Structure formats: structure tokens, C-alpha cells
Amino acid sequence: MNESITFIPFSRLLIIFIPVGLLIFILHSWYLDWKNSLHAIFRMLIQLMIIGYFLTYIFLSDNVFIILTILISMVLIASWIALGTVSEDRFISLKYAFISIMVGGGLTLLLVTQFVLKLDPWYMPRYMIPIAGMIFASSMNGVSLAAERLKAELERNINHDKAKGIALKASLIPITNSLFAVGLVSLPGMMTGQILSGISPHIAVRYQIMVMCMIFSAVGLSSYFFLRMFKPNKD
């Protein structure tokens, strides 16, 4: 594999900001909220640069307590963000979101890391942290969609049980669309990254199957558990 493909010099990385700047200009010319987009891009840069240094330290550590602290923090943050769609119920429902993501996402994480990948040690940071991030972020999105849709359906005076079914189905729409599109419309990021790094496409496909199934499961299970507990305020 050509080294210039796997290593991106900073000078070439700047090229990708050309279309970003173009879009910011379009938003500004249409009198839309371009400052929010610019703020999001700036935060992304800062957060990723920090996490790059942070992960380097974590990957070199062999401390199970640090890994567990990170995992619990990820679930807590994901739970808080997920309830942004029902902000008036946020504090009351935080425990429901936390339990749902911990159980639904945690069960999926356990199966993937301990039975599919068979990590040794079980908390191997190089695998555990990125996989947990994918699972908990997906669970977060599922819970967020489920909460918003359940509240909206109840405000339309839909029966609670029927509203839960509608909400669960809505939470699965993004990942279901991804399942239909993968390999035909898109090559997912993980698979693309592995292929670019020189991994055989056959091996990359197996990892991507694992990823797609774990995301589907984490989203569905987390949303299901949340909908079983969450009772939004309709006022």
C-alpha cells in the first residue's frame, strides 16, 4: 500500500475545507444560521484533536478502571444528549435513557467484544473504546428519535401502546435505510478505512457485517427499553 494513501499531510487535509467554506458562504448568502455551522465545524476540530491525543494515552494504558470510567461517562453523556428532543422531560427521564443505553448498548458491546472478537484482555482499549463509541452513539440516536416520536404521537392523542410501536419503528428508520444501502449506495466508513489501510476486502466485509448488526441491535434494544419506561409530559 502506498504510504501517501494512508498518511494525509496537514497541507492536503486543508483542501477538504474548500467545500466546507463554500457551504458556509451559501448559508450566509441565504441569511441562514451560518454561525451555528461554523461553530459546529470549529468544535469538531477541537474535539477530534483533543481525542486524538487522549486516545493515544488510553491505548497505551492497561488500566481497567480508566476504561470502565470512560465507558460509563460515554453512556451518561449519550443519555443526556439523547433527551435533547424532549428537553422539558430531560432531568426526569435521564435515568431511563441511561438504563436503556447501558442495557441495550452494553449487551451488544459485551457480545461483540467478548464473543465475536474475543478481546484479550477483555477491555483492550484499542478495540473497546471505538466499538463502544459506535454502539453508544447509535443507541443515543435511536433513543432520541424514539422519545421525540412518542411524545409527538401522544400529543396527537394516539393510544400509548400504538404510539410506542410507531416510535420504535421511527427509531430504526436510519439504520434500516443503511442496511438496504450498504454495498449498493455506500461503503461505510469502517470498511472504507480498512480497505484504504491495506486490509483485504473480504476481511473488511466481515467487520462491516459485525458493525451493521451491532448498530441495528443496539438501536432497537435501547429504544425498546426506553419506550417501556418513558412517559412524557404531554403539556
Q: Left if phi > 0, otherwise alpha if psi is -120 to 50, otherwise beta: which for 186?
A: beta
- What is the structure's pLDDT at 1? 43
| Residue indicated by cell numbers 470549529 | 42
> Are 218 and 100 contacting, i.e. CB atoms less than 8 angstroms apart?
no
Q: Give the per-residue pLDDT at 31.
A: 87
- Contact between 123 and 68 under an 8 Å Cβ cutoff? The reply is yes
Phi then psi for 52, rounded to 5 degrees? -60, -50
Which residue's entry shows cell 452494553? 106
**Scanning the structure block, which residue is given the C-alpha cell 419503528?**
169
pLDDT, residue 165, reads 96
| pLDDT of the residue at 198 | 77
The residue type of 220 is: G
DSSP 134-192: HHHHHHHHHHHHHHHHHHHHHHTT--HHHHHHHHHHHHTHHHHHHHHHBTTTB--HHHH
Peptide bond into 188 cis (omega under 30): no
pLDDT of 102: 97
Give the residue from 231, 233, 235, 215 showing the smallest Cα distance to 95: 231
Cα dihedral sign for 84, 90, 95, 96?
Answer: negative
C-alpha cell of residue 41: 465545524
DSSP secondary structure letters along 14-54: GGGHHHHHHHHHHHHHTT--HHHHHHHHHHHHHHHHHHHHH
* Below-50 pLDDT ranges, the chain: 1-4
Per-domain residue ranges for the chain? 1-60, 64-229
Asked whether the beta carbons of 151 and 86 are under 8 A apart, the reply is yes
- What per-residue confidence (pLDDT) applies to 235? 54
